[in-house]
Amino acid sequence: MAAFGSLCLLIALALATYNLLAGALALRLLATGQPARIAPERLAETARRAGIAGFVAVTGAAFALVWAVLTNDFSIAYILEHSNRALPVPYKFAALWSGQEGSLLFWAWLLAGYGFILRLRHRTDVKLFAYAGTILAGIQTFFLLVLNFAAPPFSLLKGAIPDDGNGLNPLLQYPEMVIHPPLLYLGYVGFSVPFAFGLAALMMRYPGEKWIRITRNWTLVTWLFLTCGIFLGMHWAYAVLGWGGYWGWDPVENASLMPWLTGTAFLHSVTMQERKGIMKTWNVWLIFATFLLTMLGTMLTRGGLVSSVHAFAQSSIGYWFMAFMAVVLVVCLAAYGVQRGHLKNERPIESLVSRESSFLFNNLVLLLACFVILWGTLFPVFTQLLNGSKVTVGAPFYNAVAVPIGLFLLFLAGVGPLLPWRATSLKAVKRNFVLPVVALWATALFCLAAGANPWKDGVFETGRLYALVGFSLAAAVLTAIVTEFLRGAAVLRKQTGHNLFASLVLLARRNTRRYGGYLVHIGVVIVVIGLCGAAFNRSVERELGVHGKMSVGPYTLECTGFTQDSNDNYDSDYALLNVYKDGKFVFQVSPERRVYQASGQPQTMVSIHSTPEWDLYVVYEGTNPDTGQPIVKAFLNPLVGWIWIGLLVMVSGSLLALLPSLAPQAVALRAPAAEAPIGREASLETGNPGGF
């Protein structure tokens, strides 16, 4: 299979190169109108078909690598390094993206798949899709060059072939790692498509609103994949690493967050271009920056620039990515320099207190957050270049800078939907902001009365102050969004005679994009509530023999014993702990510690009991080598479960936004009242896009 896989990659490279060169030549001939031996349209069609065939070739290479893993072909160095005979089948599939060469092949395969779908839909707009397909071919050519010459996944071992492999990294042998990386890659790779359309539209001076409408669903689906990938990574870190947290500001975590921030800004600001004909330059550079940041994230995991629990082995492959990013940036700058006159706004922003300005502020703050995270991530690189030693910034830096920025973004999420277009009157301010302000202060007073205040044991803590502000803002934003839903539903209830729930459903279906965006904002608010709980975490650690006890919060843990287990893949030790609350037995937890036989590496498997109030998070850390006593650490983490609930709400909102809105004729059939709405109610009928 190694020879077959290598041949597939060579064929794929030839096809991608032809797609790039023939496509570029065809577009050039069409633009200049010069006579040629072959019709430009026919040349462009052969380039499109080469792109489709390239997907088949890359699929063959990916199949070859998966087959080699499943059949334990340890003659291939990559299989030897990332698999072993006892590895369960689902994790054998995960070996495709667990190492550098395999993950690059997976990237190339996903990109080929996206390109395959794009090229099948080419009749939507033949010329625009030809430009975009040629740009995607350029990206694919780069990755196939890397796979063929810098990081070949089918390299053979020299010498004797071992009977068994080294096994998959223990950190990756967890169910979520079968789906977290693919979702993250679907997001990373998916942003190549709107990037290709954005660059293509700029090159050909294409009407901005039209290319955005074509790519809106591409971008939203890609953003959704990236969001799910980030949150699943957070849950993996929470359940596997055993440190009691879910986000450590690791450089590779940051690398996934940065394109998410710019992609989120892009999703918001395209509304301005569609509706008002403004922020065109913003949109072009936001999608350019998002693509470049996905390349940066890919480079960080492979170039050895930063230290990370997620990074692959250090290699020179980072220089390939640096060169490619430089080429992409030059192309983007050149295209913008030539065509920037095409991006002039059709009208100015009329007032600083308007929905238009709120979108602008939202973009500015999202970019500020991205810059802060980028600066902190690359700070070790800068210090090494300046003085020869890496100086790393940790969580305190990010928390001190990024958390206030995040709270301001939360504020904008609540304010934006309440502001009218063009300008805001005092009457509108009074009507729209009274309830949110009341909710804010009521929540602040309630939190202070309940003990969620900035002081802990008489010491002021900034994290607790941020949490108090976060809870209060979350209540205000939630009130603002729910009020918008209820106002719209009240109008429909009056018009149709339906009950409140049916009116809410019809309201959302009338403008799925607007109310799907609002639902995503509700999900973000719920996530923020879960994040704020981290300021009130508690933990205790002690040596715990049989019948030993320890307390954390309202729980008392009693050790009832320890047990061992073994299978072909790993040996494990369990701690069996009964948990009591108010003197009554409530449940049992059994944290585990594994040692994998292929690699000899240990791995912690945390025991987590979740409630709406908090998580009881218990870690078996092994034994004290001096005393021989087992060590158990327990955390009480408030509100963590709401983070994952918030993700589900965000996914629901995104899926709603992807659905087509009800046609006006269908709405009329559902509404017996023939009177046209007036004033604010009229906005419900016009397809006014808010949120995303």
- Please tell me whether residue 164 adopts helix, strand or coil conformation: coil
Dihedral angle computed from the Cα positions of residues 479, 484, 487 and 490, in that order, rounded to the nearest 10 degrees: -100
Q: What is the pTM assigned to this prediction?
A: 0.91
Question: pLDDT category, 183, cuts 50, 70, 90?
Answer: very high
Read off the pLDDT of residues 341-378 as tens digits, 9 standing for 90 and up: 888 876 766 666 677 778 888 899 999 999 999 999 88
What tokens were used for 371?
A: 């810059």
Secondary structure string (H, E, C) spanning 211-251: HHHHHHHHHHHHHHHHHHHHHHHHHHHHHHCCCCCCCCCCH
Question: pLDDT category, 311, cuts 50, 70, 90?
Answer: low
Smallest Cα–Cα separation from 142: which of 258, 289, 298? 298
* Count of helix runs (H) and strand runs (E) in the chain: 20, 12
Q: What percent of the chain has pLDDT over 70?
A: 91
pLDDT of residue 130: 94
What span, in angstroms and rounded, lies between the C-alpha atoms of 481 and 649? Answer: 14
What mean pLDDT is reported for the chain?
Answer: 87
pLDDT of residue 273 exceeding 90, the answer is no
- What mean pLDDT is predicted for residues 602-622? 91
522 with 649: CB under 8 angstroms?
Answer: yes
Sketch the domain layout of the chain as residue ranges. 1-168, 174-339+357-387, 402-534+653-684, 536-641
Read off the pLDDT of residues 430-458 as tens digits, 9 standing for 90 and up: 777 889 999 999 999 999 998 888 887 77
**Amino acid at position 628, single letter:** G
DSSP-H helix ranges across 241-279: 251-276
Question: pLDDT category, 392, cuts 50, 70, 90?
Answer: confident
pLDDT of residue 309: 55
What span, in angstroms and rounded, lies between the C-alpha atoms of 540 and 543? Answer: 10
What span, in angstroms and rounded, lies between the C-alpha atoms of 610 and 638? Answer: 10
431 with 483: CB under 8 angstroms?
Answer: no
Q: Could you give the C-alpha distances from 356 to 177, 220, 271, in angstroms and in order?
A: 41, 21, 10
562 with 545: CB under 8 angstroms?
Answer: no
What span, in angstroms and rounded, lies between the C-alpha atoms of 62 and 398? Answer: 39
pLDDT of residue 47 exceeding 80, the answer is yes
121 with 63: CB under 8 angstroms?
Answer: no
- Please tell me whether residue 602 adopts helix, strand or coil conformation: strand
